[in-house]
């Protein structure tokens, strides 16, 4: 593996024969694809070495334990920690932050101050919010500026001798903005006796730093962000700090003696790894680290980082040329991802339409509600890259975005007249089948959405909310003089369109008609292009309830 092209070939899902021709995976901040060497290492372990680790004296257990501890050493090397016993394996970043919060809970009092930032992923916000409530401590939040960066002056003013812990992200999972964690650690050390946790879930992938030089007390990341199995994570805990901390949870494997009224704990990482760990996943994590260290050695860490930087720069430049796209944040440089909104479409609609082009991006709030609110957004589209992505993929994505935003609604469907519910359904399915797939179906569903009357604002309430939808969708049903009333609305154009079609079928039907109707439209192929599994289930539940009421 000596070139970026050779690196990409290690990810089989990206091959046209597996995921579909020209499949463009741009959802890497959520999870990275897995290299073949990781999959092979897991299969090989199960075939030749599977056994529970530690405490076993038979050959298989000894062999499995060796592999597990080798992964600890590989992780130490990967983040350049000083000692392998500083590496605690967890279930992921969320598990790591929660464990860290539990480790320090006895050090927090009512006088304590906990500092997080407005930029945080919920995984690095909610544990500290909960801890502050349990201990009645003060939680302070570093605000962000209009350009999406942290307000470091505000942070400096928060520091005092009461600060117990500062927990901030290294790199935003929304804007790709990297924080000056060096400055945050330095200021915290100079002005407080507080501890520092750095959330490296994104930072460990893009421009990884030396932990021994950076000097945090805790550093956390997830294995699946670097192509390791899900359910694996790392909690770095500085060696000098470990004796002051309590285990986050308790069980076998963390003690070497237990009495009626006390227990004697192991030193180092084992003190914090209760129960049977995900040892197979950790071995897969070790294989993923091997893969990236090998790539950095043979291709060059700088070459990989420069490739990502040029792709991110091109992505922002080209998206910025498209009318109606609003890119969040204005940093000098982005790492790994950027997010945007459009003036025309909800983020959900953009994501679903891109999916029809075999492009995977993510829509929603990215588990960063506070950050989006500060940036004036509610739901966004995020594009995130990995080292295996190419410039050609980015240009293809940009071209597809231009096409999606240029589409105008075509003429809507013709009135069906007084036909049976089954005949209306059949005609709808035929209309969408005849028009073809992709952009044409999107144009037609948009036209259908335009025909749906907006639900009054007072009816857009909790009672009418379709609970399973990713976007706010409301469905109000009622019986008026033995006729069915079907009203709906949604923030999403495509969901509105589907609701309009269902209204064509159900509106003004008698109880007898509804009782005898078996709705197949919601499972039609074209509907699956517009709604996800949870949304279909949510609407199905409501329609089933309606049918039950008709009996």
pLDDT single digits (tens) 424-480: 999 999 988 888 767 788 888 888 999 999 999 999 999 888 876 678 889 888 888
Domain that holds residue 165: 37-288
Domain shared by 94 and 237, yes or no: yes
CATH number at 117 reads 3.40.640.10
Q: Is 415 among the domain residues? A: no
User: What does the pLDDT read at residue 528?
Assistant: 82
Tokens describing residue 321? 């040329």
Q: Is 416 among the domain residues? A: no
Q: Is 230 among the domain residues? A: yes
Q: Which residues are registered as beta bridge partners of 237?
A: 218
CA distances from 428 to 412, 414, 416, 419, 441 (A): 11, 10, 9, 12, 12
User: What does the pLDDT read at residue 408?
Assistant: 59
Q: Is 293 among the domain residues? A: no
260 Cβ neighbours under 8 A, 6+ residues apart: none
Active site residues: 367
Q: Is 136 left (phi over 0), alpha (psi -120 to 50) or beta?
A: left
Question: What SS3 state is found at 97?
Answer: helix
pTM of the predicted protein model? 0.89
Q: Is 527 among the domain residues? A: yes
Domain shared by 475 and 373, yes or no: no
Domain shared by 19 and 67, yes or no: no
Q: Is 48 among the domain residues? A: yes
Q: Which residues in the chain come in under a pLDDT of 50? A: none
Domain boundary residue among 347, 381, 406? 406
CA distances from 74 to 144, 225, 239, 293 (A): 36, 16, 17, 9
Domain shared by 197 and 276, yes or no: yes
Q: Is 414 among the domain residues? A: no
Taking the C-alpha atoms of residue 214 and residue 333, their distance in angstroms, rounded to an integer, is 21
Taking the C-alpha atoms of residue 251 and residue 258, their distance in angstroms, rounded to an integer, is 11
Nearest to 86 by CA among 279, 257, 248, 272: 272
User: What does the pLDDT read at residue 18?
Assistant: 55
User: What does the pLDDT read at residue 21?
Assistant: 65
Domain shared by 79 and 149, yes or no: yes
Taking the C-alpha atoms of residue 379 and residue 30, their distance in angstroms, rounded to an integer, is 16
Domain shared by 119 and 233, yes or no: yes
Helices of type H across 407-518: 421-434, 439-451, 493-506, 511-515
Domain boundary residue among 372, 406, 440? 406
Task: Determine the distance from the C-alpha atom of residue 251 to the mean position of all C-alpha atoms in its chain, rounded to a whole number.
Answer: 30
CA distances from 97 to 88, 124, 162, 448 (A): 12, 6, 21, 46
Domain boundary residue among 223, 258, 288? 288
Domain shared by 23 and 58, yes or no: no
- Tokens 């006796």 belong to 193
User: What does the pLDDT read at residue 415?
Assistant: 56
CATH number at 529 reads 3.90.1010.10
Q: Is 411 among the domain residues? A: no
Domain shared by 230 and 125, yes or no: yes
Domain shared by 182 and 65, yes or no: yes
pLDDT single digits (tens) 138-147: 999 999 999 9
With beta carbons less than 8 A apart as the criterion, state whether 143 and 151 touch: yes
CATH number at 386 reads 3.90.1150.10
Other C-beta atoms lying within 10 Å of the C-beta of residue 75: 23
For the stretch 371-407, what's the b/e string if a residue is b when 16 or more beta carbons lie within 10 angstroms of its beta carbon? bbebbebbbbbbbbbbbbbbeebbebbbebbeebbee
Number of domains in the chain: 3
Domain shared by 458 and 394, yes or no: no
Taking the C-alpha atoms of residue 527 and residue 256, their distance in angstroms, rounded to an integer, is 58
Domain shared by 369 and 431, yes or no: no
Strand spans (E) along 16-161:
24-25, 87-90, 113-117, 138-142
User: What does the pLDDT read at residue 20?
Assistant: 59
Domain shared by 280 and 305, yes or no: no
With beta carbons less than 8 A apart as the criterion, state whether 26 and 384 touch: yes
Nearest to 381 by CA among 354, 403, 358: 354
User: What does the pLDDT read at residue 417?
Assistant: 54
């Amino acid at each position: 593996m000596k070139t970026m092209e050779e690196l990409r070939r290690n990810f089989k899902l990206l091959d046209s024969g597996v995921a579909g021709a020209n499949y463009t995976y741009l959802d890497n901040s959520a999870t990275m694809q897995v290299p073949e060497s990781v999959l092979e290492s897991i299969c090989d372990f199960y075939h030749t070495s599977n056994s529970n680790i530690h405490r076993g004296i038979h050959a298989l257990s000894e062999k499995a334990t060796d592999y597990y501890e080798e992964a600890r050493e590989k992780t130490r090397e990967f983040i350049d920690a000083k000692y392998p016993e500083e590496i605690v394996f967890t279930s992921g970043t969320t598990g790591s932050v929660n464990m860290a919060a539990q480790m320090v809970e006895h050090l927090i009092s009512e006088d304590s101050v906990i500092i997080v930032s407005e930029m945080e992923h919920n995984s690095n916000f909610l544990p500290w919010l909960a801890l502050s409530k349990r201990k009645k401590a003060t939680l302070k939040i570093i605000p962000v500026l209009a350009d999406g960066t942290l307000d470091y002056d505000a942070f400096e003013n928060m520091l005092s001798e009461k600060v117990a812990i500062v927990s901030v992200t290294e790199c935003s999972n929304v804007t790709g903005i990297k924080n000056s964690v060096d400055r945050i650690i330095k200021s915290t050390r100079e002005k407080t006796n507080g501890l520092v946790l750095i959330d490296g879930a994104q930072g460990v992938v893009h421009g990884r730093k030396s932990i021994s030089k950076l000097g945090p007390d805790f550093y956390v990341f997830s294995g699946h962000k670097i192509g390791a199995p899900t359910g694996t994570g790392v909690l770095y805990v500085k060696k000098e700090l470990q004796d002051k901390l309590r285990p986050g949870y308790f069980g076998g494997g963390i003690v070497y003696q237990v009495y009626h009224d006390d227990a004697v704990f192991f030193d180092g990482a084992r003190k914090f790894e209760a129960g049977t760990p995900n040892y197979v996943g950790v071995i897969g994590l070790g294989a993923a680290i091997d893969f990236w260290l090998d790539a950095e050695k043979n291709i060059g860490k700088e070459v990989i980082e420069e490739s990502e930087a040029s792709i991110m720069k091109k992505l922002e430049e080209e998206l910025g040329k498209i009318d109606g796209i609003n890119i969040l944040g204005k940093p000098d440089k982005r790492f790994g991802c950027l997010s945007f909104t459009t003036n025309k479409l909800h983020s959900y609609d953009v994501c679903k339409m891109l999916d029809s082009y075999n492009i995977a991006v993510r829509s929603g709030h990215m588990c960063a509600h506070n950050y989006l609110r500060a940036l004036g957004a509610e739901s966004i589209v995020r594009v995130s890259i990995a080292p295996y992505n190419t410039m050609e993929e980015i240009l293809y994505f940009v071209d597809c975005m231009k096409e999606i935003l240029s589409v105008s609604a075509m003429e809507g469907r013709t009135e069906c007249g007084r036909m049976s519910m089954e005949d209306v359904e059949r005609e709808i399915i035929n209309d969408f089948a005849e028009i073809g797939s992709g952009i044409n179906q999107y144009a037609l569903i948009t036209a259908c959405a335009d025909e749906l009357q907006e639900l009054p604002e007072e009816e857009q309430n909790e009672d009418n909310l379709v609970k399973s939808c990713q976007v706010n969708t409301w469905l109000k049903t009622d019986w008026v003089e033995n006729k069915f009333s079907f009203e709906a609305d949604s923030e999403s154009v495509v969901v509105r369109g589907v609701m309009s079609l269902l209204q064509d079928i159900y509106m003004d039907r008698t109880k007898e008609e509804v009782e005898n109707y078996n709705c197949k439209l919601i499972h039609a192929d074209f509907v699956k292009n517009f709604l996800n599994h949870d949304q279909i289930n949510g609407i199905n539940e409501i329609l089933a309830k309606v049918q039950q009421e008709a009996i």
